[in-house]
Amino acid sequence: MIAIVDYGMGNLRSVQKAIEKVGYEAEITRSPQRIADARAVILPGVGAFKDCMDNLENFSLITPVLKAIASGKPFLGICLGLQLLFSESLEFGHHPGLDVIKGVVKPFSQTMSDPDRPGGLLKIPHMGWNSVQIQKPVPVLAEVKDGSYFYFVHSYYVEPEDSQTVAMLTDYGGKFVSAVAFDNVVATQFHPEKSQQQGLAILRAFAALK
């Protein structure tokens, strides 16, 4: 069973349906025991960083998530589930994250330029399809070709201290980290469950991990 962590925010059912579509069982749960028993864990997320951290704490899910990562079982973060892994976020102040990855979550600046848009300014949030540039080989991402397109919806991006964790980059008013990978952890800024065949390929490879 693959556990999808339910902390009251995020498109949980769409992630579950995508996992089921590639032929695997997934359970939406906030039970620490079910998360501990799962052979793999997914942390999705949509919403504000602080609200998500508060919900993780209120549902007593921070320790189960950290234990799942420490156990070595496959772990996938999606969108805000990527950002929550970082040390802190600058979204509406300074807010601590799970501190699994040293680094910070920063806002896109509305003063950043985009020559393809009227007025030359970046549209925020970054929403829609954009391509990825692969930075290192990762088993879960092995079927993804350089330049493949994925679906994004976000106003903030991650900046890890260790460049060795960076698996993919994407260009939006400048390059930002769109996926990280290290040890048993993979996390994407884009939504694989909304990214058609390329996204399903990632979820299939993740679900097949032992």
Least confident of 66-80, 111-125, 148-162: 111-125
Active site (annotated) includes residue 191 = yes
Q: In sequence order, which residues have a C-beta less than 8 Å from that of residue 115 and are 6 or more positions away? A: none
Share of the chain above pLDDT 70, in %: 95
What's the CA gap between 102 and 89, in Å, rounded? 11
Q: Quick check: helix, strand or coil at residue 89?
A: strand
How many other C-beta atoms can be found within 10 angstroms of the C-beta atom of residue 155? 12
23: DSSP letter: T
Active site (annotated) includes residue 52 = no
CATH of 2-207, one of 3.40.309.10, 3.30.70.260, 3.40.50.880, 1.10.10.10: 3.40.50.880
**147 confidence band (pLDDT: 50, 70, 90):** very high
Over residues 127-140, mean pLDDT: 96
Backbone angles phi, psi at 90, to 5 degrees: -100, 20
What's the CA gap between 171 and 155, in Å, rounded? 14
Residue from 91, 126, 154, 193 carrying the catalytic annotation? 193
Active site (annotated) includes residue 193 = yes
pTM of the model: 0.94
Which one, of 106, 177, 182, 102, lies nearest residue 137 by Cα?
182
How many other C-beta atoms can be found within 10 angstroms of the C-beta atom of residue 75? 25
pLDDT score recorded for residue 113:
56
Residue from 79, 91, 126, 154 carrying the catalytic annotation? 79
pLDDT score recorded for residue 114:
58
What's the CA gap between 131 and 146, in Å, rounded? 8
